[in-house]
Structure 1
Amino acid sequence: MSVVGVQGEERHDFTKEESRQIRRRSLRLLGSLLKPLRWQVAWTALVVTVSTGAQVAGPALIGYGVAEGLPALLDQDWLPLAWAGAAYLATAVVGALLVAVYIRQSARISQAILIDLRKRVFLHTQKLSLEFHESYTSGRIISRQTSDLDAIRELLDSGINQLVQGVLYMTFTAIALVALDWQSGLVLAVALVPLFVLTRWFQQRSQVLFRRSREASAKLIVHFVETMTGIRAVKAFRKEKRNEKEFGDLVEDYRDVNAKVIQVFGVYDPGLVFIGNVTVAMVLLWGGFRVVDGSLAIGFLLAAVLYTRRFFDPMEDMAMFYNSYQSAASALEKISGVLEERPSVPDPVRPVDLWSARGDIAFDDVEFAYTDDRVVLPAFDLAIPAGQTIALVGSTGAGKSTLAKLISRFYDPSRGAVRLDGVDLRDLHPKDLRRAIVMVTQEAYLFSGSVADNIALGKPDASFDEIVAAARAVGAHEFIEGLPNGYDTDVNKRGGRVSAGQRQLISFARAFLADPAVLILDEATSSLDIPSERAVQEGLTTLLADRTAVIIAHRLSTVAIADRVLVMEWGRIVEDGSPAELIGGEGRFARLHAAWRDSLV
């Protein structure tokens, strides 16, 4: 399934065939979650069946006690009444104990399903390719892990209990009523007609509204996450007022759809009460006439009235279950859509091992296009010998970062092959690929934890001395020592905050410690000021030594350390040579260098 397919689930104008496919996909996911728990589910079903049967036996025992026990008591025979009382007490105790067992078992099953589902979503989204994450907003991913999983949790924690117990309770009650007095059962059967019409109306109306409610909730979360993530841009461009209006509109939409849901319940709940009360009245009236003519014992009339009343008791709970069910079904559809996604950069079926890479990079007749009509890199060949430092230069949108991402195998070429030491990257073992090729981007993301933890990301089993050595090599040791707790400083705590340039130095140390055969710096010095950039040049020289390096930079000062310069325009390499050769010429790079030199003056 494509990324567009998942994003398309935000709409609600599916064809019947699309809706069937989505339901089948959701059912497959649910089946895979339940399969490891099938024996626990079977045991739980048995427990709740026996428990419900014990609870339903109560009115029949009361009817027997009134019909048989009271007349016998008048004749000084207390045994029938005692038997009815003891049996009623026994069924109550058994029912209560089994309900306790059922609640514990259902809780274990629901938590096992939720843990499995949370892990699946987290692990699967990590495996998906960069293309997916660039198309699927972070707010929507967070919505899958939060509000959508919470909707499923609510269904599993209480909704399933309400459904199973309600269906069994109503079924057993109807059977008991027919067995006790078939004429009262016939009255109940007639009442099922308006009950079915009302319930069907409720299902159709609520199904649409609950789906809209989930969508409105997801939009709220997406807007909030994106606002908080981009809070610097919000402050810089004074977007608070616009955000207030946009968020206010989303809140209003969410409130309106929930108000309509409440209105539907406002019709359904009183309708249930009305139908239930009319049915009880009819059973009582019809039964009363038969008690008068002696064809029905008053005790059994009492039992029939109790059964009729109890038949309608679970209906409101089942309506609430339908509320939970609609929310959870919509959530499960979205989650199953994400889990159906397949990486556009799949792992090889038969991976080739490359334990020690030299760093030779070759592009063989490579073409790359995001879509058929959007070719970013027209067909080209390129060879980068091991140990050579390449600088990629060109205007924004020239294709520099795309070329670098092909080397890192964030994307696969649409045609041709990218090879490392003669091995197609699509065939290379993922561990060997990630060990051999490392990219440092301008974001220089730091994870929660200490500075040392963030540097050790490049080599998790590194010793503290190795971490310090990596920081010294790129010129980061001095500022790290100046932090409140040195290498143990938490980068997310007050006092542990580091500047953009310092984050970049930490990312350099991380890359140095990883010791890749191929290192890619994608605008990696863009966050550094001129003094910091000059200070890190020596560290960069150390970092790039004895390895293949590809540097993408707008600052031509960074290019000076390169052995070779590739100038790109419109996805094509238009110039190729050493910095000195290109500066001495009259091409694109010479003009860029002259403009940069004039800017310094």
Structure 2
Amino acid sequence: MAVDVQRWRGTATEEPDPTARVASRRLLGSLLRPYKRQIAVLVALLLAQNFAGMAGPYLVKLGIDRGIPPLTGGRDDPTVLVTVAVAFAGATAAEFLTRRWYLALSGRVGNAVLLDLRTRVYRHFQRLSIGFHERFTSGRVIARLTSDVDNISELADGALDDLVLAGLSVLSVAGILLWLDPPLALVTLASFPFLLWLSRWFQRASARAYRRTRETIALVIIHFVESLGGIRAVQAFRRERRNDEIFGAVNDDYRRASLTAQRLVATYSPAIKVIGNVSIAIVLTYGGWRVLHGHAEVGVLAAFLLYLRRFYEPIQELAQFYNTLQSATAALEKLAAVLDEPCSVPEPASPAPLRHPVGALTFDRVSFAYRSGTVVIPSLDLHVPAGQTIALVGATGAGKSTVAKLVARFYDPTSGEVRLDGVDLRSVAEDDLRRAVVMVTQENYLFSGTVASNIGFGRPGASRVEIEAAAAAIGADEFIRGLPDGYDTDVRKRGGRLSAGQRQLVAFARAFLADPAVLILDEATSSLDIPSERLVQEALRTILASRTALVIAHRLSTVEIADRVLVLSGGRIVEDGPPASLIRGGGHYAELHTQWRDSLL
């Protein structure tokens, strides 16, 4: 069990790619590029807000030094205080208005950027090949679209402008202090090397800590999704205790990673406060001495103390903002890595026309190996005339499903060509290929929604009459009309409201509506009972008529309707011919047929 937990930790943790930071900056630039003008306005608003905020302490200085009689040599001129008060009110109003305008505009820009990001990631996940999704778990996909996007959203929703304002405040205050009283400012800025060293340490340590929190929360999400996605198997094989231990381990990893990040904040923030308080005490002492000896005005000292508050408080807040920035940066790096993931079956730059496909298939010296290096098809030459039904049989791992996936172009061959009507599939536009080639698998995946909408996936835009006609053609109309709401019945999650045979018939109706030139049936009847299989067999005869078909099945009752049987072994064709001829020949297929017939007795 401990080994299982360690394996889970080791295989799921993602180390950042060395080029991830460059990729994330490129992604950020592409997201922000359409909003250059709005960003320029936002920068101007931030500068105006910072200017208005910086005016307050200076106005206090003017009010003290020029408007209070004991400090002005006894002159009693109330207009100075009134002017200062009005100016202070104006600065406050300006700060409020610019802040409000900034938040409204930044909210619009931020949400537009996040919408664009989510759309890009979602579309890219859909475009990526089956091979990618077979190795990139559903939990990691969900983590990208939820947890990672949420971290970027948190930054866009207010933390970024606070971070920028804090930086502007620190720089502005430093400049104003040097302008007001250089000697006093130099004493104040003597703490800057300590602040710089402390901030640099925190920057490096928090970057590592927050990248670790992103990795560990991804593990939590991955395990949670996979455990509940396979809840039937979990409960059937009593795996709850083991899953609890794995979840407890990854959850504790996340807790410890978060605790490490919080400890850094707990060290950094109080240290900044201590440095700030010590600096204020020194300024108050030295500044008071300068006022007493006539080297500085009381208003300058008061302004200094007010500005120092605006100097150290933002630095303290930078801790929280920087944590959010680091978390968002780590998330953006992971999203950039996903978006940079190349599609192993790319869309052709100049697609070859495929206007009226008839379904002739050719494998020309095709070989194929998966990413692991395992060669599944060493060399395959095959021609399937248009309209012929081919059955692929053989032991598990013989290469049957791989041949089907190559025809559907879920993968591209390592070498050689797979051609449809003489055109290399790598030169066919994806839309044309998906209209010409349709695969029906044993999963019979149905989406949440009505029966009609699930059949309609076969041809987007099909009318209700066409959907019902397709169902009637393959014999599904009767059972559909017997459902509580007929074609408008909600099939529920993954078609759970329907039986296996009913789901299969809906899937066949979907394929019939699509009307492809080539139909692939990959173990499409393997999960059916005998009565359901007989019902589906009748539908098969309808759906396979007048089209090229590749049928993969262990049940030879399905194979018997084929015009031609290919027996595969080790990715090679070892027998090829009509079913009846192969049975009389006494070879591999004859042996399989005998075993199947005996299993029915």
**Superposition TM-score, scaled by structure 1 size:** 0.96
Q: Is the 8 A contact 1:520 1:549 kept in 2?
A: yes
Q: Is the 8 A contact 1:366 1:379 kept in 2?
A: yes
Matches within 5 A, 1:64-75: 64-71=62-69, 74-75=74-75
CA distance in structure 2 between the partners assigned to 1:42 and 1:344 by the alignment = 39
Matches within 5 A, 1:234-249: 234-249=234-249
Deviation, 1:8, is 9.5
Deviation, 1:74, is 4.6
Q: Letter of the aligned partner of 1:94 in structure 2?
A: A
Aligned to 2:35: 37
Aligned to 1:224: 224
Deviation, 1:205, is 1.7
CA distance in structure 1 between the partners assigned to 2:265 and 2:409 by the alignment = 53
CA distance in structure 1 between the partners assigned to 2:494 and 2:44 by the alignment = 56
> What does the per-residue CA deviation read over 1:14-70, in whole Å, with 9 as the maximum and x for residues that have no partner?
6xxx53x22111111111111111111111000110111111110011011011110
Aligned to 1:516: 516
CA distance in structure 2 between the partners assigned to 1:43 and 1:141 by the alignment = 36
Aligned to 2:3: none
* Distance change >3 Å, CA 462–CA 11, structure 1 → 2: closer
- Secondary structure of the equivalent of 1:411? coil
Deviation, 1:500, is 2.2
Determine whether 1:446 maps to 2:450: no
Q: Is the 8 A contact 1:143 1:218 kept in 2?
A: yes
- Secondary structure of the equivalent of 1:519? strand
* Distance change >3 Å, CA 426–CA 483, structure 1 → 2: same
Q: Letter of the aligned partner of 2:313 in structure 1?
A: D
> What does the per-residue CA deviation read over 1:428-448, in whole Å, with 9 as the maximum and x for residues that have no partner?
222221111110011111112
Determine whether 1:594 maps to 2:594: yes
Deviation, 1:493, is 7.1
- Secondary structure of the equivalent of 2:357? coil
Determine whether 1:199 maps to 2:212: no
**Superposition TM-score, scaled by structure 2 size:** 0.96
> What does the per-residue CA deviation read over 1:60-117, in whole Å, with 9 as the maximum and x for residues that have no partner?
1101101111025953311211111111111111111111111112111211110110
Deviation, 1:188, is 2.0
Aligned to 1:361: 361
* 332-341 or 256-265: bigger deviation: 256-265
CA distance in structure 2 between the partners assigned to 1:190 and 1:495 by the alignment = 70
Q: Letter of the aligned partner of 1:132 in structure 2?
A: F
Q: Is the 8 A contact 2:390 2:550 kept in 1?
A: yes
Deviation, 1:334, is 0.6
Determine whether 1:574 maps to 2:574: yes
- Secondary structure of the equivalent of 2:296? coil
Q: Letter of the aligned partner of 1:62 in structure 2?
A: V
> What does the per-residue CA deviation read over 1:546-570, in whole Å, with 9 as the maximum and x for residues that have no partner?
0011100000011111110000111
Q: Letter of the aligned partner of 2:28 in structure 1?
A: L
Deviation, 1:161, is 1.2
- Secondary structure of the equivalent of 1:458? coil
Q: Is the 8 A contact 1:501 1:532 kept in 2?
A: yes
* Distance change >3 Å, CA 559–CA 265, structure 1 → 2: same
* Distance change >3 Å, CA 333–CA 460, structure 1 → 2: same
* 435-444 or 365-374: bigger deviation: 365-374
Q: Letter of the aligned partner of 1:34 in structure 2?
A: L
Aligned to 1:558: 558
Aligned to 1:110: 110
Q: 2:57 aligns with which of 45, 56, 59?
A: 59
Deviation, 1:495, is 11
Deviation, 1:300, is 1.2
Q: Is the 8 A contact 1:455 1:467 kept in 2?
A: yes
Q: Is the 8 A contact 1:484 1:495 kept in 2?
A: no
CA distance in structure 2 between the partners assigned to 1:362 and 1:69 by the alignment = 95
CA distance in structure 1 between the partners assigned to 2:371 and 2:206 by the alignment = 39
> What does the per-residue CA deviation read over 1:409-459, in whole Å, with 9 as the maximum and x for residues that have no partner?
111111111111111111122222111111001111111211000001111
* 157-166 or 56-65: bigger deviation: 157-166
Aligned to 2:6: none
Q: Is the 8 A contact 2:445 2:495 kept in 1?
A: no
Matches within 5 A, 1:60-139: 60-71=58-69, 74-139=74-139
Q: Letter of the aligned partner of 2:250 in structure 1?
A: L
**Number of residue-to-residue matches in the alignment:** 590
Aligned to 1:462: 462
CA distance in structure 1 between the partners assigned to 2:508 and 2:494 by the alignment = 23
Matches within 5 A, 1:371-410: 371=371, 373-410=373-410
Q: Is the 8 A contact 1:489 1:496 kept in 2?
A: no
* Distance change >3 Å, CA 495–CA 546, structure 1 → 2: closer
Q: Is the 8 A contact 1:362 1:419 kept in 2?
A: yes
Aligned to 2:266: 266
Q: Is the 8 A contact 1:483 1:495 kept in 2?
A: no
Q: Give the root-mean-square deviation of aligned CA atoms.
A: 1.7
Gaps of 5+ in 1: 1-6
Aligned to 2:275: 275
CA distance in structure 1 between the partners assigned to 2:371 and 2:315 by the alignment = 52
Q: Letter of the aligned partner of 1:70 in structure 2?
A: I
CA distance in structure 2 between the partners assigned to 1:108 and 1:582 by the alignment = 69
Q: Is the 8 A contact 2:505 2:539 kept in 1?
A: no
Aligned to 1:420: 420
Q: Is the 8 A contact 2:523 2:552 kept in 1?
A: yes
Gaps of 5+ in 2: 1-9
* Distance change >3 Å, CA 219–CA 371, structure 1 → 2: closer
Q: Letter of the aligned partner of 1:178 in structure 2?
A: L
Q: Letter of the aligned partner of 2:191 in structure 1?
A: A
Aligned to 2:253: 253
* Distance change >3 Å, CA 332–CA 10, structure 1 → 2: farther
CA distance in structure 2 between the partners assigned to 1:77 and 1:290 by the alignment = 26
Aligned to 2:22: 24
Q: Letter of the aligned partner of 2:49 in structure 1?
A: S
Deviation, 1:9, is 9.9
Deviation, 1:335, is 0.4
Identical pairs, percent = 54
Q: Is the 8 A contact 1:25 1:333 kept in 2?
A: yes
- Secondary structure of the equivalent of 1:353? coil
Aligned to 1:3: none
CA distance in structure 2 between the partners assigned to 1:25 and 1:269 by the alignment = 32
Aligned to 1:4: none
Which structure 1 residue ranges, 4+ long, deviate > 6 Å from structure 2?
493-496
Deviation, 1:464, is 1.6
Matches within 5 A, 1:112-191: 112-191=112-191
CA distance in structure 1 between the partners assigned to 2:351 and 2:273 by the alignment = 65
CA distance in structure 1 between the partners assigned to 2:326 and 2:49 by the alignment = 27
Q: Is the 8 A contact 1:363 1:380 kept in 2?
A: yes
